[in-house]
Amino acid sequence: MNNILSGMPLGELTDLLTPLPRFRAAQIFKWIASGVCRFEDMGNLPAALRHELAGRFSLRPDADVQQYPGDDGAVKLALRFAAGAGVEAVLLPGGSRQKTAPSGYTACLSTQAGCPAGCASCKTGALGFLRNLSSAEMVEQFIQLHKAAEERLPSQAPPIRPIASIVIMGMGEPLLNLAELRRALDVITSPAGIHFSKRRITVSTCGIAAGIIDLADNGPAVRLALSLTAADESLRRRLMPISRGHSLAEIREACFYFQKKGGGRITLEVVLLGGINTSGEDAAGIAKFAASLDTAINLIPWNPVSGLEFEGKPLRPPSAAEVKNFKSRLEAMGLPVTCRFRRGRGIMGACGQLGQLT
């Protein structure tokens, strides 16, 4: 798994290919960024070298890829990797809901097969945890989504970048697989290859305090989103079992540290569950958590998943009135609030729905 070249940062690749000249590793790295599938397609490498590489290494991970387009422009990919690891990645159109063609897509990537967090509102959490994904498997998701985006964007002059932003918000808890995520993002952001801007990448966590501090200390300098959902300690621990090991106070201090170290505005993601976390007291708790932090709040009305329940009762989406009132309360307390578009619901590709096909 670790000798799959597409998951290797340029420095690792250069070391692996010693005693080849450094420029050969740079050429191969550039070919990987272009999405080639075979060594034989690397036209500026000698034929003998291409044959040797094919005998020694895998270029990209083996993956069976199924594509599921939605009527709102979203596309879900179901990828099955080695050892039966099935994951899903999603392409979400940018721009307003009124646009017929997106202004560039958002790529939503997964970091684990399944998820250990066990959040009550999430299909992925109900699957349990299978394994961490390798950096190559994360890069493969990006390459496949980039290809799907290119196929859908109309020809434009000047051309726009098919993928405008990346969110690490798919299956799994990214900060529990930070080493491999860091390697994958090194590949994706390297100026010698794909050269994707770090400031257009957001990593979402359910609140792994040590991981937030690690990200602040060691990078990469990406944006951070915190899946908060509730700022009442008891309720949050019941909704998000993984939070039992990470108190709200510890998470908040980690967020302060992240910003002290130069991290930008943090997005607080609040999944609204009808009748559970939509009261005025819930809004006040979110506001208290956000106090003195540089944050923006993203409200996510729960996307239905059959069979999920909380404390013996089926979950339900919030009513329009619940969402409106919750948003108004936060805005009245001076907080910037947005409500996420529900793109991808028709293909079970929206927040909390991944894991239907794995």
pLDDT at 98: 44
Tell me if 41 is assigned to some domain.
Answer: yes
- Which one is catalytic: 12, 52, 88, 140? 88
- Which one is catalytic: 115, 122, 255, 351? 351
CATH number at residue 244: 3.20.20.70
pLDDT at 84: 76
Task: List, as one string, the DSSP characters of 8-59.
Answer: S-HHHHHHHTTTS-HHHHHHHHHHHHHT---GGG-TTS-HHHHHHHHHH-BS
Query: What is the Cα–Cα distance from 264 to 129, expressed in whole angstroms?
Result: 31
**30 plus 95 within the same structural domain:** no
**287 plus 224 within the same structural domain:** yes
Query: What is the Cα–Cα distance from 191 to 171, expressed in whole angstroms?
Result: 27
Mutual angle of helices 209-218 and 248-260, in 10-degree steps: 10
Amino acid identity, position 170? G
Q: In a 3-state reduction of DSSP, which class is residue 87?
A: strand
Query: What is the Cα–Cα distance from 270 to 176, expressed in whole angstroms?
Result: 21
Query: What is the Cα–Cα distance from 135 to 179, expressed in whole angstroms?
Result: 9
Tell me if 358 is assigned to some domain.
Answer: no
**134 plus 52 within the same structural domain:** no
CATH number at residue 45: 1.10.150
Tell me if 257 is assigned to some domain.
Answer: yes
Amino acid identity, position 127? L
Q: In a 3-state reduction of DSSP, which class is residue 197?
A: coil
Q: Do 265 and 296 form a contact (C-beta atoms < 8 A)?
A: yes
Element (H, E) at 248: helix 248-260
Q: CA angle at residue 181 from 175 to 183, to 5 degrees? A: 140
Domain that residue 115 falls in: 64-347
Tell me if 357 is assigned to some domain.
Answer: no
For the chain, the residue count is 358
pLDDT at 159: 59
Tell me if 302 is assigned to some domain.
Answer: yes
**193 plus 260 within the same structural domain:** yes
Q: In a 3-state reduction of DSSP, which class is residue 208?
A: coil
Q: In a 3-state reduction of DSSP, which class is residue 101?
A: coil
**105 plus 250 within the same structural domain:** yes
Q: Mark 205-215 as b/e (b = at least 16 C-beta within 10 Å).
A: bbbbbebbbbb
Kindly give the pairing relationship between strand 266-272 and strand 313-314.
Answer: unpaired
Rounded to 5, what percent of the chain is helix, strand, coil? 40, 20, 40
Tell me if 148 is assigned to some domain.
Answer: yes
Tell me if 242 is assigned to some domain.
Answer: yes
Q: What are the two backbone dihedrals, phi and then psi, of residue 112, each rounded to the nearest 5 degrees? A: -140, 155
> Does the annotation mark 88 as catalytic?
yes
**39 plus 164 within the same structural domain:** no
**129 plus 251 within the same structural domain:** yes
**45 plus 177 within the same structural domain:** no
> Does the annotation mark 351 as catalytic?
yes
Residue where a domain stops, chosen among 37, 56, 75: 56
Sequential pLDDT tens for the chain (358 residues): 458 999 999 999 999 999 999 999 999 999 999 999 999 999 999 999 999 999 999 999 999 999 999 998 999 999 999 877 899 999 999 754 444 445 689 999 999 999 999 999 999 999 999 999 999 999 999 999 999 999 887 766 555 689 999 999 999 999 999 999 999 999 999 999 999 999 999 999 999 999 999 999 999 999 999 999 999 999 999 999 999 989 999 999 999 999 999 999 999 999 999 999 999 999 999 999 999 999 999 999 999 999 999 999 999 999 999 999 999 999 999 999 999 877 788 888 889 999 876 5
Tell me if 263 is assigned to some domain.
Answer: yes
Report CA torsion sign: 179, 130, 202, 240.
negative
Find, among 333, 302, 337, 335, the residue nearest to 120 by Cα.
302
Rounded (10°) CA dihedral 108, 179, 193, 5: -110
Q: What are the two backbone dihedrals, phi and then psi, of residue 16, each rounded to the nearest 5 degrees? A: -60, -35
**111 plus 228 within the same structural domain:** yes
**28 plus 119 within the same structural domain:** no
Please tell me the total count of domains within the chain: 2
**83 plus 211 within the same structural domain:** yes
Residue where a domain stops, chosen among 56, 73, 99: 56
Q: What are the two backbone dihedrals, phi and then psi, of residue 139, each rounded to the nearest 5 degrees? A: -60, -40
To the question of pTM greater than 0.75 for the whole model, the response is yes
**100 plus 28 within the same structural domain:** no
